[in-house]
Amino acid sequence: MRTTLKNFTKVLSVSALLLFAGSCQDDEPTDETLDAITLSCDSFESSNPDHITNLADRVQGGVDYIIDCDIDVEIDLTIDAGVTIQFADNVGMWIQETGSIVANGTSSKAVTFTGKTKAKGAWRGLLVESDNINNRFDYVTVEYAGGGQYNSNGDKGSITLTSQTHLVLNNVTVANGLTYGINLAYRNHTVELNNCNVSSCNIPLFIDATSVSKITGGSFTGNTTNSIFVNAESSRSLNTNHTWKDLGVPYRLTNDLKINDGGVLTLNAGVTIEVAPSMGIDVEGIFDDGSALIAVGTSSNPITFTGVTKTAGSWRSIYYSYSSNPVNKIDNAVIEYAGGNGTNAKGAVEMWSADPSVNISNTSFSNIYGCAIFDYNTASNPNPNFSESNNSTSSVSGGYICNN
């Protein structure tokens, strides 16, 4: 049978003892004293006839449950507000494909996953492999996790999702993680991040490029590296509409970011894109020339494209090919440290000879290897769909506009 853990009294109150002795004196009642329960390794396994489906709040302000082994969740598990689960060193919790997890914290009574040892990475963390639509964390704290890999791929994080999983995170706090606070680097998630706070981790968030637009807000500062790492491998190309918000820290592209097949990426004012060495941004349109990049900042809050390495030509370029979408626009932006430095790029912005639609205005180019803007057409036959105005250059080795 399935069981639910409930509060129980461990000691008899002093007042009850006095009544038992026949005393007529009234005494103040005392709080019940409860010990943490150590859960068995098969507590949430479907093969266990007494598996647990609910963890209730037992100890006010203390540890309710102890987990001292790697534990799998194969059933539907609900965790009540106020519950604290303590993990021994080097263990963690794996939400399997057949299971689900709902952590029902509140603003005054969070659900807490913590380590016995109060040190970064003391325990492995939470790995979610379930696509159950009920998977949800509300007002949850995960701390001192991310210290060890949980699968053969070597993935680490205080909270990690595998591919094709579902999880909604509302008001989730991740702190003192050794690696990624939240690891969403796999693709095909159904995920939401609403008002999450990640601090005192190595890197706050590693996320698939197609999921970045699911971050509605939160705080990602106070970490060793204050950047949101974006997994932008070719299989993560943006082929639908996406909007990236200014979250107060840069987005770091670890691979080439490709916008294709009619995808449109809009960057809100204030967004900073950091590009890893030799990588770049490609706006392609081989199969659908509706692809576009819309990067419109303001004079006081520009959009910045920069390199992880602060040297001229450290990253490649923003490269346009075939896209005839007239919404392609860079305005009130800063583009720096681009140009490729011998890695097949000829400018910070490049336009293929298929005459893509490109509009660049009020943008500063600095520390560029090669040209600020390169047109693969000849000077006598320039791209007729390119327009520019009020741009500036500084430390641009190849000049402002160059032609093939």
The mean predicted confidence, pLDDT, of the chain is: 90
pLDDT at site 17: 30
Q: What is the pLDDT of residues 375-402, one digit of tens each?
A: 999 999 999 999 999 999 999 999 999 9
Distance from C-alpha of 309 to C-alpha of 222, rounded to nearest angstrom: 21
Residue 7 has pLDDT above 70, yes or no: no
Q: What is the pLDDT of residues 223-244, one digit of tens each?
A: 999 999 999 886 678 999 999 9
N-terminal to C-terminal alpha carbon distance within the chain = 75
Burial letters 297-322, b for 16+ CB under 10 A, else e: beeeebbbbbbbbeebbbbbbbbbbb
Residue 5 has pLDDT above 50, yes or no: no
Residues whose CB is less than 8 angstroms from the CB of residue 300 and which lie 6 or more positions away in sequence, other chains included: none
pLDDT at site 333: 98
State phi, psi for 193 to the nearest 5 degrees: -125, 105
Provide the 8-state DSSP code for 224. S
pLDDT at site 388: 98
pLDDT at site 235: 66
Q: What is the pLDDT of residues 119-170, one digit of tens each?
A: 999 999 999 999 999 999 999 999 999 998 776 677 899 999 998 899 999 9
Token match 């003192």: residue?
176
pLDDT at site 30: 41
Token match 């190309």: residue?
237
Q: Is the pTM for the entire model greater than 0.85? A: yes
pLDDT at site 6: 39
Structure tokens at 288: 């659908």
Q: What is the pLDDT of residues 59-96, one digit of tens each?
A: 988 999 999 999 999 999 999 999 999 999 999 999 99
State phi, psi for 142 to the nearest 5 degrees: -120, 120
Neighbours of 89 (CB within 10 A): 16
Give the pLDDT band (50/70/90) at residue 285.
confident
Return the C-alpha torsion angle 180, 182, 188, 194, nearest 10.
-150
Give the pLDDT band (50/70/90) at residue 18.
very low
Residues whose CB is less than 8 angstroms from the CB of residue 15 and which lie 6 or more positions away in sequence, other chains included: 26, 27, 28, 29, 30
Percent of the chain predicted with pLDDT > 70? 90
Q: What share of the chain is helix, strand, coil (3-state, %, to 5)?
A: 5, 40, 55
DSSP for 95-118, written as a single string: E-TT-EEEEE--SSS-EEEEESS-
Token match 């960057």: residue?
267
pLDDT at site 33: 59
Percent of the chain predicted with pLDDT > 90? 81
Give the pLDDT band (50/70/90) at residue 366.
very high
pLDDT at site 281: 96
Among the ranges given (36-50, 251-265, 284-298, 321-335), the one the predictor scored with the smallest mean pLDDT: 284-298
Q: 3-state DSSP call for residue 14?
A: helix
Structure tokens at 268: 């809100």
pLDDT at site 266: 98
Residues whose CB is less than 8 angstroms from the CB of residue 389 and which lie 6 or more positions away in sequence, other chains included: 361, 362
